[in-house]
Structure 1
Amino acid sequence: MSVSMTSSRRITIALAWGAACHGAFAIGVGLMIYHLFFGLLQSWGAVPWPWAIGANLALLTQFPLAHSLLLTPRGRKILALIGPDERLATTNYALIASLQLALLFAFWTPSGVILWQAEGALFWTMCAAYAVAWGYLMLAILQSGVQLQSGMLGWLAMARGRDPQFPDLPTHGLYRVTRQPIYLGFALTLWTMPTYTPDQLALAVLWTAYCALAPRHKEARFEKIYGDRFRAYRQRVPYWLPFPRKAPQDGETPAQ
């Protein structure tokens, strides 16, 4: 096979992987936005009760479990083995996460119970809050490195015939006031819809706990990668909620 054919095939595969990843991302996020707005009452699952409890619990836990396990050293090795090129690892991660979201929100079996539903001016206030939460999340994704978060980093590197160039430690924009704006934004989307149901509350409680705890593992990885630079950043910027930090004690050097 000629070099040009090899290059052509590599680019074709990379573009196909990218299309699959971004298509799945759009579907997964779209389903999440739609079904969360209605408190998961519009989801299409039809497992008979009480078996639906187990099915919903499985859907509820599969996303945070896989999302965390695939970021471990062994998980990253598995991601690199999926597909024809190890550079697609980050694309595979985004693709799998998107499919997991689509699976959960499409096949959740609704309880049919409404605990609270906003009406009148409050309905539009909650709609605005929901839109702001999603806008905040998208801005956090953009500022953290949209190529990495969207899965573009892997397939684009393969198409160019280069190694992936990972973004630097984000410390600008939203990252100046909280170290984990993506997890915070994700949690906000779980609580700002105008319809509250047992389904939505189960999802919100479990996934908010995940959003609060999971970044600990990410930060341990960042500390190994960035060392003193990350430790200085961690000292001056709050972990999750943007509360003011205590001033340095006498004799301490403020982080630069």
Structure 2
Amino acid sequence: MSITLHHGPSNPTAASFATRLLTLCYGGLAYLIFLGTFLYAIGFVSQYVVPKDINTGAAPSLMKALLTNLVLMSIFAVQHSGMARQGFKRLFARFASSAIERSTYVLLASLSLILLFWQWQPMPSAVWHIDNPVLAGIATAGGAVGWLIVLYSTFLISHFELFGLTQVVSHFAGRMVEPMKFKTPGLYRMIRHPIYLGFIIAFWCTPTMTLGHLLFAAVTTAYIFVGIYLEERDLVTMFGDQYRRYREKVAMLVPGIF
């Protein structure tokens, strides 16, 4: 869930047309896979439409389900955080064009999530269930609001650059990607990490919380706080005192509180 943006190649015009076209197709395919994965994630967590959601399937033993699900979430966490670090980006640039670095990150994150959806083991014991239809509707609406916050926040900070399209389109056109500028539009004036807040709301707002859903929500929330620490360390390195002042003035997740 890193929101650190990435830059294009240092000399896009040096690549042949065929190479630039292949790069564009690769980035476009990675984005389409991400988009499908994101939409499936909404259905998976919220239990809408998709053939397999977080509670679908025959339940194995509790220990088997727990261990399998923790491994699946760990694979995603290691890939997601590891590839977002500056050291990996420098290593990647030694072997491939930096124009596809973000697209590769997005593609592998999507594939690790697809693996999680495919192999997730249900743990159907109910932790809570809201019987009141009004309260259940509020919980369901809250989850939908969380997903909307996630999507809206990505557009505030350049959705297409965040998911690699800007880089490959600029590379195809032979243009340099402009250096990233520090900006705090919209929700970013109130909290530093609205994308993460949206995910937390989406994961926890449900009228029926099963043990498996609770495990997913708890582990991903813990991972979000680890991600925030790592991401802010990188942002301080990139923007220095400008980001430090922003961090002092603006709450992390809850306006005026935390």
**TM-score, normalisation: structure 2:** 0.82
Would the alpha carbon gap of residues 81 and 56 (structure 1) be closer, same or farther in structure 2, given more than 3 Å must change? farther
SS at match of 1:13: helix
Write the distance in 2 (CA, Å) between the matches of 1:177 and 1:197: 32
2:36 to 22, 27, 34: 27
Write the distance in 1 (CA, Å) between the matches of 2:104 and 2:93: 8
Q: CA deviation at 1:107?
A: 2.1
CA contact (8 A) 1:18 1:155 kept: yes
Q: Residue in 2 aligned with 1:164?
A: 177
Q: Residue in 1 aligned with 2:223?
A: 210
Identity of aligned residues (%): 27
Write the distance in 1 (CA, Å) between the matches of 2:202 and 2:180: 25
Of residues 174-183 and 106-115 in structure 1, the stretch that sits farther from structure 2 once superposed is 106-115
Write the distance in 1 (CA, Å) between the matches of 2:226 and 2:256: 18
Write the distance in 2 (CA, Å) between the matches of 1:135 and 1:108: 25
Q: CA deviation at 1:164?
A: 3.1
Q: Residue in 2 aligned with 1:250?
A: none
Write the distance in 1 (CA, Å) between the matches of 2:94 and 2:123: 39
Q: Which runs of 4+ in 1 moved over 6 A?
A: none
Write the distance in 1 (CA, Å) between the matches of 2:179 and 2:126: 44
Q: Residue in 2 aligned with 1:253?
A: none
> Residue 213 of structure 1 aligns to which amino acid in structure 2?
V
SS at match of 1:154: helix
CA contact (8 A) 1:87 1:155 kept: yes
Structure-to-structure mapping, 1:57-206, within 5 angstroms: 57-80=70-93, 85-119=97-131, 120-206=133-219
Q: Structure 1 regions of 5+ residues with no counterpart?
A: 246-256
Q: Structure 2 regions of 5+ residues with no counterpart?
A: 1-12, 48-52
Q: Residue in 2 aligned with 1:251?
A: none
Q: Residue in 1 aligned with 2:54?
A: 40
SS at match of 2:180: coil
Q: Residue in 2 aligned with 1:249?
A: none
Would the alpha carbon gap of residues 196 and 48 (structure 1) be closer, same or farther in structure 2, given more than 3 Å must change? closer
Higher CA-based Rg? 1
In the alignment of these two chains, the number of paired residues is 238
Of residues 30-39 and 168-177 in structure 1, the stretch that sits farther from structure 2 once superposed is 30-39
